[in-house]
Amino acid sequence: MAPTRRHDPERRTRMVDAAIRVVDAHGIAGLSHRRVAAEADVPLGSTTYHFASREDLLVAALRRVGDRWLADVAAWERALPADAPLAGELARLVQESLTGGRARTRLEYELYLAALRHDAVQPVAAECVDGLAAILRRRTPDDATARALAALTDGLTLQLLLTGRTPDHAELRTLLAPLAGAGVNSSSPSG
């Protein structure tokens, strides 16, 4: 009698979540089918069935992390009052991502920067870049400003991650203000 195959519709999702945990614990270099299988508590053959290569695991992990990050940024933007000073709110977003969620932000950027060495990851990283610019476009006068503001926000976050510096709200707001058009309300405590 042939063994019955266990129906496990959540297995792929568990493996992607396991890949994220493996990268968080061991870095990109530590990502392997074997580690993901152990972390997800599935047979090694399951990981190779669902993800033909290590790059496929990396792409799936970045896609999951990137989708969550963009959903969070979109929710942040929707929650802002229409007249909220963008420079101050973006400064707060960067500050909170590095004080309350530094480990999560480090993981997001580690996966995001994997696109530098892994061609298969580049389109997913580009979706994150374009997604942030699209969200910021709802608060800026044009696409160029939204893209520049997304690049500056990314750059500031990355610099703070790399240096370990504590983000200073006033300094961040001052750096973001020329692009964010934050002359209005820029001196208010919330701005």
Q: Give the count of domains, the chain.
A: 2
pTM for the model stands at 0.85
CATH number at residue 172: 1.10.357.10
6-38: pLDDT as tens digits: 667 799 999 999 999 999 999 999 999 999 999
pLDDT at 159: 95
Residues 96 and 34 in one domain: no
- Name the residue range of residue 17's domain: 9-52
- Higher-confidence residue of 182 and 164: namely 164
DSSP 26-90: H-GGG--HHHHHHHHT--HHHHHHH-SSHHHHHHHHHHHHHHHHHHHHHHHHHHS-TT--HHHHH
State residue 109's pLDDT score. 92
Is residue 187 predicted with pLDDT exceeding 80?
no
